[in-house]
């Protein structure tokens, strides 16, 4: 006869030594699993940019403002619309990160995820994605803020932008397609690449009687099969990667500063990472 854990321990006092040992053992296993996932996601890996070239093409994308930890789910949503299997996302699905996540709270972080058209076959995909807009009911401002990501992505319309092929700082970094990987990417990879591009990108100056200031963005494509992301920080024509949005400094000036680490953010992360945490931690507003 099979018995579950509760049946085996129901006769034991709550504060019995056996129960304390079992609880400690379970907590140790959870901590070990979390630590392992952190290492697999590249917590100790170095961010070392090398010279490379962003391929360029027509970017068919959805744009929003959410925590960068949500980008993977939007990529998956676009992948389903395209008809791609997750193992084929690399070099076809890209994410453009417009801001430094260390400078603002999660709900303010701007990004776009979409399909990069680089050949004739891609033009057919572009047409298919844009046709989907006919069935989309755009979210209201309230829904844009309140809807969970799983419901919001389907309500966002596809847009297009031409991304140039330019010299870029390139980093390949471990990827586990999970929440921990997304958080390490936000905390470690994007800020480091932005700093490098800011220091080594197109110098401020004047061209054709207009001021030139390099705008920094990061563009990423990830391979689930290879467990690796390729991150690009364009070193030229940065403004063309803003997708018609204001640069990060201008955008940030439109709202009061917010700490990167907040109580709500910590609770939200804990609820996602630790099984059963939602029983003890309130849902952050």
Query: Tell me, what CATH number does 158's domain have?
Result: 3.20.80.10
Q: Residue 24 pLDDT more than 90?
A: no
Coil, helix or strand for 33? helix
Give domain status of residue 221, yes or no.
yes
Within a domain: 241 = yes
Tokens read off for 55: 């391929």
How many CB atoms are closer than 10 A to CB 106?
Answer: 20
Regarding whether 138 and 260 lie in a shared domain, the answer is: no
**Highest averaged pLDDT of the listed ranges 4-8, 29-33, 46-50, 259-263:** 46-50
Per-residue pLDDT, 268: 56
Same domain for 188 and 276, yes or no, is no
| Each residue's pLDDT tens digit, 170-193 | 999 998 887 777 888 888 999 999
Helix ranges (DSSP H) in 45-140: 71-82, 120-131
Give the length of the chain.
285
User: pLDDT of 221-269, one tens digit each?
Assistant: 999 999 999 999 999 999 999 999 999 989 988 875 555 445 555 555 5
The region of weakest confidence among 96-105, 141-150, 198-207, 246-255 is 198-207
Question: Does the residue 285 lie in any domain?
Answer: yes
Q: How confident is the model at residue 143 (pLDDT cuts 50, 70, 90)?
A: very high
Q: Which domain holds residue 271?
A: 255-285
Question: For the chain, how many structural domains are there in total?
Answer: 2
User: Residue 162: beta bridge partners?
Assistant: 58
> Is residue 113 domain-shared with residue 199, that is, in the same domain?
yes
Q: Does 82 map to a domain?
A: yes
| Same domain flag for 76 and 132 | yes
Q: Is the pLDDT of residue 220 over 90?
A: yes
pTM given for the model: 0.75
């Amino acid at each position: 006869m099979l018995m579950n854990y509760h049946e085996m321990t129901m006769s034991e006092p709550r504060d019995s030594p056996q129960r304390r040992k079992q609880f400690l053992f379970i907590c140790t296993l959870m901590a070990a699993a979390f630590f392992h996932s952190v290492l697999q996601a590249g917590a100790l890996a170095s961010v070392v940019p090398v010279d490379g070239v962003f391929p360029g093409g027509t970017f068919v994308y959805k744009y929003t403002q959410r925590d960068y930890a949500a980008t993977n789910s939007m990529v998956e949503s676009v992948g389903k619309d395209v008809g791609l299997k997750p193992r084929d996302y690399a070099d076809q699905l890209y994410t453009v990160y417009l801001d430094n996540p260390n400078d603002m709270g999660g709900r303010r972080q701007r990004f776009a995820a979409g399909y990069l058209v680089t050949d004739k076959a891609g033009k057919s995909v572009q047409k298919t994605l844009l046709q989907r807009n006919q069935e989309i009911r755009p979210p209201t401002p309230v829904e844009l803020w309140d809807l969970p990501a799983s419901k919001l992505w389907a309500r966002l319309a596809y847009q297009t932008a031409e991304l140039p092929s330019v010299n870029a700082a390139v980093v390949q970094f471990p990827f586990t397609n999970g929440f921990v990987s997304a958080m390490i990417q936000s905390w470690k990879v994007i800020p480091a690449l932005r700093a490098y591009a800011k220091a080594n990108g197109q110098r401020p100056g004047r061209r054709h009687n207009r001021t030139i200031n390099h705008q920094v963005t990061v563009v990423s494509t990830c391979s689930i099969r290879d467990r690796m992301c390729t991150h690009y920080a364009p070193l030229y024509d940065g403004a063309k990667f803003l997708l018609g949005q204001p640069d990060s400094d201008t955008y940030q000036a439109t709202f009061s500063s917010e700490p990167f680490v907040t109580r709500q953010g910590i609770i939200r992360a804990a609820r996602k990472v630790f099984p059963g945490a939602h029983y003890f931690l309130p849902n952050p507003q």
